[in-house]
Amino acid sequence: MDNYLSLPDIVRLKSSDFASASEHLSAAFTQDPLISYFLPEDTAAKQKAFQHLSRAFLNFAQPYNQIYTTANDPKGVAIWLPPEALQITLLQLWQAVTSGLIISPFYMRWTRIKDFLALLNTQIQMHEKLSPEPHWYLGMLGVSPKCQGQGIGGMLLQPVLEKSDRTKMPCYLETTTPSAVRFYQRHGFEVVDQVMFVEHEYWAMKRYPKS
């Protein structure tokens, strides 16, 4: 039995809670400098775009059942992808279509879609170079702004960090703010690359399994 099940505050997210979870994720990422660069300036349009992106990624990750939240009332969400989800196959391409990820560029500023595709290409190349072995990928981690500072983000990481240690498999993520870098460093991640993209910093981080 997984160790995290002994922690009643952290559970797997049910698909019936995707709507509220996407709201928490979009609220958490509203101030993200790099993502905001690609989205409309209008507040309502930006919020709609964030909610679409969050919901689409939840839909994409759902088959792998590695999405975690707080019990009873989702206050934050961690979306993990296992190694098999990171292989480019017809199944993954079909999931990108059916989840809504494929239409995400339509929610962005038209003048910056080319930049977005360039970032996506950079992200894929960095990911393949820095973590070529089987690993866990943290796609999104967000805590509702009103609930931040309570240790919820760290708790949401624990189920997969424990799996990582048991199976001797590393974890990988990208982030865009110095405060997030410091947060992940407190949980065992280290910076493995740092680049500038359209005047915004972008970090790749990796956590090696602990004995």
pLDDT in tens, 106-121: 778 888 888 888 888 8
Residue 119 located in a structural domain: no
Residue 82 located in a structural domain: yes
Residue 163 located in a structural domain: yes
Closest alpha carbon to 202 in 126, 117, 137, 107? 126
Residue 185 located in a structural domain: no
Domain interval for residue 84: 3-111+131-167
Closest alpha carbon to 200 in 167, 178, 185? 178
Closest alpha carbon to 170 in 188, 152, 194? 188
pTM for the complete prediction?
0.87
What letter represents residue 62's amino acid?
Q
Whole-number Å distance between alpha carbons of 58 and 4: 21
Whole-number Å distance between alpha carbons of 159 and 11: 9
pLDDT in tens, 174-193: 999 999 999 999 999 999 99
pLDDT in tens, 122-140: 888 999 999 999 999 999 9
Tokens representing residue 41 in the block: 């300036």
Task: Report the Cα 39 to chain-centroid distance in Å.
Answer: 17
Tokens representing residue 26 in the block: 């979009």
Residue 48 located in a structural domain: yes
Residue 178 located in a structural domain: no
Residue 177 located in a structural domain: no
The CATH number of whichever domain residue 160 belongs to comes to 3.40.630.30
Tell me how many domains the chain contains.
Answer: 1
